Amino acid sequence: MLQNAFRGGARFWTLLALWALLIAVGTMAYASQLTQGLTVTGMSRDVSWGLYIAQFTFLVGVAASAVMVVLPYYLHNYKAFGRMVILGEFLAVSAVLMCMLFIFVDMGQPTRVLNVLLHPSPNSLMFWDFMVLLGYLVLNLVIGSVTIEAERKEAPPPRWVRPLIYLSIPWAVSIHTVTAFLYAGLGARPFWMTAILAPRFLASAFASGPSLLILLALLVRRFGAFDAGREAVRALGTIVTYAMAINLFFVAVELFTALYGGMPHHVHPFAYLFTGLEGHAALMPWTWAGQTLGVVCAVLLLVPALRRRDAVLALLCGGVIASLWIEKGLALVVTGFIPSPLGRITEYTPTAPELAITLGVYAVGGLMLTLLYTLVVNVRKRLQPA
Amino acid sequence: MGETRRDFLTGLGAAAVAGCGLPLFDPTRWLQASVAPGTAAAATQWAMVIDLELCRRDDVRRACMDACRREHNVPAIPDPDERIDWIWAEERQHVFPDLVHEHTAVEVREAPVLVLCNHCTKPPCVKVCPTGATWKRERDGIVMMDMHRCIGCRYCMAACPYGARSFNWRDPRPHVARDAEGKPVSDYPTRTAGVVEKCTFCAERIRAGREPACVEAVRAVPGAAGALTFGDVTDPGSPVSQLLRHEQTVARLVDLGTGPNVYYLVSRSPVAAAEGEGA
């Protein structure tokens, strides 16, 4: 079974080499972070979380989005997703793996990571996040490998996996809800303390995750000679469209409440993002680029004639991912710390080692995804009549 | 034979615990839970009152901050973004945004105020800690910190609305004050990189029946009597309770529901002021 993950042509091995190179560079940067401490990052006393925790947040969304193919296929018997489901599940596996690695590289004392299990603290959302992510990883790994193994043997999947699949649906919602609660429960950070955060996280997850899945399915069709199906891609396109529209609505709701309400604690973070605050505006160009891109993509996606063309759909999905990455993978975490509770504005710029470690973790996810997708493609290829 | 075997296993267990850095058993917690000698045993919530006017004086703030730094080997990190502070000064407009407004004189708005951990009655940092490395001590209400259990996730820093927590972004030991022999000035354990630290109301001194270092230090400053008052807020007769009952005092961000136990004296009634001078 596993040998199927390692069979490929020159392109496959080049890709593996690229991941290996990025992982090596990331590991070297991490070694310097281990010896010198988190001082090698751009984080500070005031902005005490940065790129790592932001990537974790973004990728929890990508992981949760597997539910957007699992639910229609298993609960509504939507056959078109038959060949897409496994791609979604394995994307979730890679994404959760990256999430856990991002938490790990953010820790000041990584050797003590097991303290989270040795001293379980149910009052901490971080503890729950740890638990639900671990559970989600195991669920998707088991479901994905059991179903592909069954497919290889040309047999139906065993009956016991069915309840696990049903369990994975609410579980997907839980991982992103718990991640939102991790932020939304902090009275010290008015920017995060909003009831819309969890719904917003889910909406943006169901836009960015399926967008990534569409791009991956198109790539696999092009280079892996495995077609997940035209209808499946189109259905995902529709999901992206509505999720993105709902996400933009949630952002608008948030902006209205903060800006019309006019309470300084709620206005200041948004002012920092959109206009700059007291001369500090590092995220302003990113914010405008991201929001503009998001609106433009959402509007274009709403035109069925446009999103039915694969090339256009791919472009718009790329735009959606970029826009939501800026929103969640960059702005959301940092802005929570600006201004600080003591009114200080400290800006944050990631350093070179921090970027190298971040890329390294993404490369681990990329490696995992490459192997899992290669496995799927090879298993399916042998089943197809020549 | 059996005893040798048991000794061996115990030793093995201890070695495993020490080697992995996993505090399965943390003796310091037991020590801290034991009954302290003297007045400390009766206390249920330590609290502090800081005189807003007196802490505008440079010598008063300097005495508190220096004493704290020496007492706990708090490193003096040159990079302001990596500062470690247990007690330090902030402008009044940032500490008490509601006590000033745009018409307040600049000297008042920017007047320095001593700030430290508030040892909240409902500490948000304790609520979010995923390992129990920080906890509210039931016996006397001090928000404690176990630097051997802390995993350095910094969730507590995100949760604290007072900015009272510092993370060791780098190895603090090169920045700790040393004596002539090169040893840290205090025997308080120095910390390692990657853990969070903060004021503990000098729990180690309270255990020995002494007051916090900052409170003691400020007594030696001429004319600064009453700048810092420390005591048990549940004891109606304590100086802290007296001040809180009779004088105009405030606490930081009370609307967040954290229940801070560090108070600030806005003004003294003429009688109390006269008593203060007489003391």
Predicted local confidence at residue B279, as pLDDT = 41
Q: Are A239 and A78 in contact (CB under 8 A)?
A: no
> Beta strands B46-51 and B262-267: pairing type?
parallel
Contact A108 B152 (CB under 8 A): yes
Q: Are A194 and B263 in contact (CB under 8 A)?
A: no
Residue B5 lies in a domain: no
Residue A40 neighbours by CB under 8 Å, 6+ apart: A29, A32, A33, A351, A353, A354
Residue B24 lies in a domain: no
What Rg do the C-alpha atoms of chain B give, in angstroms? 20
Q: Are A215 and A236 in contact (CB under 8 A)?
A: no
Q: How many domains does chain A have?
A: 1
CA atoms of A373 and A228, how far apart (whole Å) = 12
CA atoms of B236 and A343, how far apart (whole Å) = 35
Residue B14 lies in a domain: no
Residue of B nearest to A127 (CA): B130
Of B195, B76, B89, nearest to B145 (Cα)?
B195
Residue A385 lies in a domain: no
Q: How many domains does chain B have?
A: 1
Q: What is the CATH number of the domain that holds A223?
A: 1.20.1630.10
Q: What is the CATH number of the domain that holds B235?
A: 3.30.70.20
Does A45 touch chain B if contact means CB atoms closer than 8 Å? yes
Tell me which residue range forms the domain holding B171: 48-278
Helix axes A197-223, A67-75, angle to 10 degrees: 80
Mutation site, B114, B127, B131, B160, interface A, largest A CB count within 10 A: B131
Predicted local confidence at residue A336, as pLDDT = 97
CA distance A338 to chain B (A): 11
Q: Which residues of chain A lie closer than 8 angstroms to B79, CB-CB?
A: 39
Q: Which residues of chain A lie closer than 8 angstroms to B170, CB-CB?
A: 36-37, 39
Provide the token pair at A294.
Answer: 């998001």
Residue B54 lies in a domain: yes
Per-residue pLDDT band for B224 (boundaries 50, 70, 90) equals very high
Give the burial string for B100-123 (b: 16+ CB within 10 Å, else e): beeeeeeeebebbbbbbbbbbbeb
CA atoms of B205 and A212, how far apart (whole Å) = 57
Put residue B212 in one of left, alpha, beta given phi > 0 → left and psi -120 to 50 → alpha: beta
| Terminal-residue alpha carbon distance, chain B | 68
Helix/strand/coil (H/E/C) assignment for every residue in A239-292: HHHHHHHHHHHHHHHHHHHHHHHCCHHHHHHHHHHHCCECCECCCHHHHHHHHH
Residue B64 lies in a domain: yes
CA atoms of B129 and B123, how far apart (whole Å) = 10
Residue B22 lies in a domain: no
CA distance A345 to chain B (A): 11
- Across chain B, mean pLDDT equals 86
Alpha-helical regions (H) of chain A:
10-36, 51-64, 67-75, 85-106, 115-118, 125-152, 161-184, 197-223, 230-261, 264-274, 284-301, 304-307, 310-326, 332-335, 352-383
Q: pLDDT tens, position by position, for chain A (386 residues)?
A: 788 888 888 899 999 999 999 999 999 999 999 999 999 999 999 999 999 999 999 999 999 999 999 999 999 999 999 989 999 999 999 999 999 999 999 999 999 999 999 999 999 999 999 999 999 999 999 999 999 999 889 899 999 999 999 999 999 999 999 999 999 999 999 999 999 999 999 999 999 999 999 999 999 999 877 888 999 999 999 999 999 999 999 999 999 999 999 999 999 999 999 999 999 999 999 999 999 999 999 999 999 999 999 999 999 999 999 999 999 999 999 999 999 999 999 999 999 999 999 999 999 999 999 999 999 999 988 877 65
B:165-224 residues touching chain A, CB 8 A cutoff = 166-171, 192-196
Could you tell me the maximum CA-CA distance found in chain A, to the nearest angstrom? 69
Provide the token pair at A152.
Answer: 């290889």
CA atoms of A137 and A101, how far apart (whole Å) = 12
Does B20 touch chain A if contact means CB atoms closer than 8 Å? yes
Does A333 touch chain B if contact means CB atoms closer than 8 Å? no
Helix axes A51-64, A125-152, angle to 10 degrees: 50
Residue B243 lies in a domain: yes
Residue B48 phi, psi (nearest 5): -135, 145
Say if residue A339 is preceded by a cis peptide, omega within 30 of 0.
yes
Does B258 touch chain A if contact means CB atoms closer than 8 Å? yes
Closest residue to A48, CB basis, from B90, B91, B167: B167
- Secondary structure (3-state) at B143: strand
Residue B25 lies in a domain: no
C-alpha dist (Å) from residue B182 to B40, B76, B77, B175, B178: 34, 16, 18, 12, 5
Find the mean pLDDT for residues B192-205: 97
Does the pLDDT at position B39 exceed 60? Answer: no
Contact B93 A343 (CB under 8 A): yes
For the beta carbon of residue A370, count every other beta carbon within 10 angstroms.
18
Residue A386 lies in a domain: no
CA atoms of A205 and A193, how far apart (whole Å) = 19
- Secondary structure (3-state) at B196: strand
